[in-house]
Amino acid sequence: MVDQQDRNDIGPVLWRGIGAAKGIEMLAVFCSPSRYVQGRDATEFLGKELKHLGLAGPALIVASARVESALSDVWKRSLAAAGIDYVVHRFGGACSQPEIDAGVTAARAAGARVVIGVGGGKCLDTSRAVAATLSLPMVNCPTLASSDAPCSALSVVYNVDGAFDRCIFYPKNPELVLVDTSLVAAAPRRYLVSGMGDALATWYEARTVIEARATNQLGGATTIAARALAELCCRTLFADGVDAALAVDSHAVTPALERVVEANTLLSGLGFESGGLAIAHSVHNGLTAARQTHAFLHGEKVAFGLLVQLVVEGRPSSELAEVIGFCRSVGLPTKLADIGLADLDDTSLQAIAERTVAPGETAHHEAFRVTANMIRDGILAADAIARH
């Protein structure tokens, strides 16, 4: 995956990227949450962890009705023991500007001093936006390992119709990320597998950014720590992905599941943000232009985007086969039909390709100029390779 020559090629170099002045050596930048906690029944320790960090109430908990129903008794025990008052704000299901505005209003009404997001990636994205708007500490408690969003300092915002709108970047990562693997094990397999799709792209996109001397998501150069974490993320998935998915099928917390949850959440979260993104995530954004893909999860679309990236970059067929093989082994999409686009027409294909290469997209972190025609052909070729 990474040979010694690749390792020796990291050092003081001139980096380029969006907003970088030509010929200026950029600083390497790495970021992470202040504290990461993971394990069985971790929610029971939420109050203790907040107190450890000096965070006090009132707290605004942003959560769906389903999550509140499942965890309300645990919150009462854990937060009461720490002397932290809280109010629950009902999350509506999408990270959109109206949802963010509603959360801000609720936080102000509660006099919140900390925002706690509990749920999936979109809930956590919304919570981060609420906290950042009010300059409040942010705590993320993912109930799924379906994406690498929990550790990050950004939110992906969608329009009310479900299409990608924009990314919001924040100056600070969450104060605390607390992952209860009992909740992850109780969720359907599809969510863990989607997280694997998101995490799978981490190494391949970071590698592209490093090779291109482009900037990571922080606007700086990639550290060797970020590179190592991104590579370890990929190795962990290949080693434990199938066993972790089988564990979730049985609602069992196993060492393999713990390792994959950490890969999906922590390794991928640090790896994508401090390592950088490329075509795979841009293809995801492009795919949201097709309404047929809205029923599919973020990581499912990123997995297909990774295949497109490998094709457009001209990577060896053996590497593409390895990625396709892993995707099939855990149940990730590899074909257009797998993401609702079996009958993709030329107009929709062109719209996806053009959205993928919109100004500011991470597809432009490649070492070469990426065009809509390249993406269009890459989508068709990736689908054909996976089918045949």
Catalytic entry in 125, 148, 180, 198: 198
From the candidates 281, 338, 364, 365, which is the catalytic residue? 281
Q: Measure the CA–CA gap between 207 and 275, rounded to whole angstroms.
A: 8
Q: What is the DSSP letter of 388?
A: -
**Per-residue buried b or exposed e for 356-374, using 16+ beta carbons within 10 Å of the residue's own CB:** bbeeebbbbbbeeebebeb
Cα 267–Cα 191–Cα 236 angle in degrees, nearest 5: 30
The question of whether 298 is a catalytic residue gets the answer: yes
> Residues for the chain: how many in total?
388
What whole-number distance in Å separates Cα of residue 54 and Cα of residue 269?
A: 24
Catalytic residue among 125, 148, 240, 284: 284
Cβ contact 201:303 at 8 Å = yes
Q: Which residues contact 267 (CB under 8 A, 6 or more apart)?
A: 199, 202, 229, 230, 232, 233, 236
Strand-pairing partners, residue 86, are 59
Q: Which of 298, 338, 364, 383 is catalytic?
A: 298
Catalytic residues: 198, 281, 284, 298
